[in-house]
Structure 1
Amino acid sequence: MARAQNIALADDSLSVDLMSSPEAPVQDTAACVRSLTGQELEKLKNDRNLVSEFKQAKLEKEAQKNWDLFYKRNTVNFFKDRHWTTREFEELRACKESQGQKLVLLEAGCGVGNCIFPLLEEDLDVFVYACDFSHRAVEFVKQNPLYCAERCKVFQCDLTKDELQESISAESVDVAMLIFVLSAIHPDKMPLALKNIFKVLRPGGTVLFRDYGLYDHTMLRFKPGSKLGENFYVRQDGTRSFFFSKELLADLFTGAGFLTLANEYVFRETVNKKEGLCVPRVFVQSKFRKPDR
């Protein structure tokens, strides 16, 4: 993954700002959405034209192909390893300590392993199930020298239609991670993905979530002709991104049977010192639990 200092702010393709400098400490969390400038409000107000239904159907049909092409172009060099997960989500350690046994983890939408391999390197007593929409991404995970079938099982899966129970026993997962994944799924199909994860999570198990928040800078820099629906956009490469309000996110998880433990906006800034730019980033970071029986 290219460094945050090199973000091409004029590029509408999926760029490094997906996790721009995730190693930096969180600057602020809040219950309220980010306030917009008058210029930003005007831009959103005027951006009403949606991509045609024909093109939207084509994007949905070719979603997997577009992600395979993304990984073909970028291989394993796009995203930076996410060493911050155990710092941001103490459940990764606390869950294991409380149970006194191996933690069973699912990363839904694992990409090329930028989250799971740092966890395995830390030598946590963990077994990881990892799946991704892209066949090519799954192959990159298997080719990683750290991949070990005794500690990790990776497989291709469309969370909206492929049953996770075909690869994972029902109610066997302690923690599921959804890190910048749900935003890439069509909003109409998000409930299907969450219900799929619900089935393999044990009672009392936790979902750790982080994704794009409403009015993130990347949402406001999409050019006209990129809008698919409310808070839903397409990039130049055909991949798509949704921007969540915490209220909508809570409704999605509640509708799938989860309880909300934490649900906040995370406000940060990406700084490009060379260009003299400082842009606001908004993420939603949340924790949801499957009820005990």
Structure 2
Amino acid sequence: MDSCTLDEGTSAGNTVFTCSTSSSSEVPFQKKVEKLELTTTSMAESGQSDVILVSEFKQLKLEKEAQKNWDLFYKRNSTNFFKDRHWTTREFEELKACREFENQRLVMLEAGCGVGNCLFPLLEEDPHLFVYACDFSPRAVQFVKQNSSYNPDTCKAFQCDLTTDSLTDSVPEDSVDVATLIFVLSAIHPDKMHLAIENIYKVLKPGGCVLFRDYGLNDHAMLRFKVGNKLGEHFYVRQDGTRSYFFTTEYLQLLFTKGGYREVCNEYVLRETVNKKEGLCVPRVFVQSKFYKPL
């Protein structure tokens, strides 16, 4: 679940970011920080959509129909909604650096592969890669298998609900070097996120890592939600029935450490996205993290 087309909307207004620490990046208008502070004005603005919660009946319906809503999303948009991600190896050196020897075949799990916007650029760039790719939506998996670049010798795509289906049915236990969770966990109900993380833990090798990137608290996409779209704390529903959670680094750290992982890094990524349609430059907030399975 990427952020590309979801950027469109109105400005976040008076949001001001105060960064405690920062590091340089090759990406223009992007910086990484360990802590995120917002002015009282922006916090009040983000709270405007928090007054009314979606009814319990509708929330249960959304949970029950979650797979159907994502399947309909891919039916409407086919493979045209998200752009290919060519930034993953830049942001996550582990996709290349964790090999013990040069020609080692790295085994990767892409949890929530969508239609292959991350998968196929990685396979094109790295011939010594085998990817297990799964998604909640059967239609998305079908699009992956229909892609002309799909090759069973380098990829195994399968449908999987990370919260109910055991990954070990399709992926050998303790076999994966690197797993990615990129704009995926936010679509899962917060009460079930730990199930997905524990599921991935079973197929990771000891010393294997999870590379994570997703929406951060008070991201522009969160500030856009109107009254009546809130499901719970930091959790919202879009018009098409798909849902999104907005993370803090503290929450993510607690989630992974309770699942047995150790933290490598866990920080906010602040960047500016130009909305050409609206003529706006809007602030984006993501959380980018790395956690590993102890030896």
1:190 corresponding residue in structure 2:
193
In the alignment, the residues of structure 2 paired with residue 5 and residue 248 of structure 1 have an alpha-carbon distance, to the nearest angstrom, of 26
What amino acid sits opposite 2:170 in the alignment? S
In the alignment, the residues of structure 2 paired with residue 127 and residue 198 of structure 1 have an alpha-carbon distance, to the nearest angstrom, of 18
1:8 matched to 2:3: no
Secondary structure at the aligned position of 2:163 is classed as coil
2:108 corresponding residue in structure 1:
105
2:250 corresponding residue in structure 1:
247
* Structure 1 stretches lacking a partner, 5+ long: 11-22
Contact 1:6–1:272 (Cα < 8 Å) also in 2: no
Secondary structure at the aligned position of 2:164 is classed as coil
2:238 corresponding residue in structure 1:
235
Contact 2:145–2:157 (Cα < 8 Å) also in 1: yes
1:54 corresponding residue in structure 2:
57
In the alignment, the residues of structure 1 paired with residue 167 and residue 56 of structure 2 have an alpha-carbon distance, to the nearest angstrom, of 30
Give, in angstroms, the shift of residue 142 of structure 1: 0.1
Q: 2:207 aligns with which of 204, 208, 212?
A: 204
* Structure 2 stretches lacking a partner, 5+ long: 11-25
2:18 corresponding residue in structure 1:
none
**1:85-122 deviation line (CA, Å, top 9, x unaligned):** 01110001101255751000000000000001001111
Q: Report the CA distance shift for 1:58/1:275 in structure 2 as closer, same or farther (over 3 A).
A: closer
1:132 corresponding residue in structure 2:
135
**1:10-53 deviation line (CA, Å, top 9, x unaligned):** 5xxxxxxxxxxxx9546111111242461552441562211010
Identity of aligned residues (%): 68
Secondary structure at the aligned position of 2:110 is classed as strand
Aligned-residue Cα RMSD (Å) equals 2.3
Q: Report the CA distance shift for 1:207/1:71 in structure 2 as closer, same or farther (over 3 A).
A: same
Please identify, of 46-55 and 124-133, the stretch whose mean Cα deviation from structure 2 is larger.
46-55
In the alignment, the residues of structure 2 paired with residue 242 and residue 128 of structure 1 have an alpha-carbon distance, to the nearest angstrom, of 26
2:266 corresponding residue in structure 1:
263
Contact 2:49–2:225 (Cα < 8 Å) also in 1: no
Contact 2:249–2:267 (Cα < 8 Å) also in 1: yes
Give, in angstroms, the shift of residue 276 of structure 1: 3.0
1:162 matched to 2:165: yes
Contact 2:8–2:275 (Cα < 8 Å) also in 1: no
Paired residues for 1:267-286 under 5 Å: 267-273=270-276, 275-286=278-289
Contact 1:105–1:126 (Cα < 8 Å) also in 2: yes
* Paired residues, number: 281
Secondary structure at the aligned position of 2:217 is classed as coil
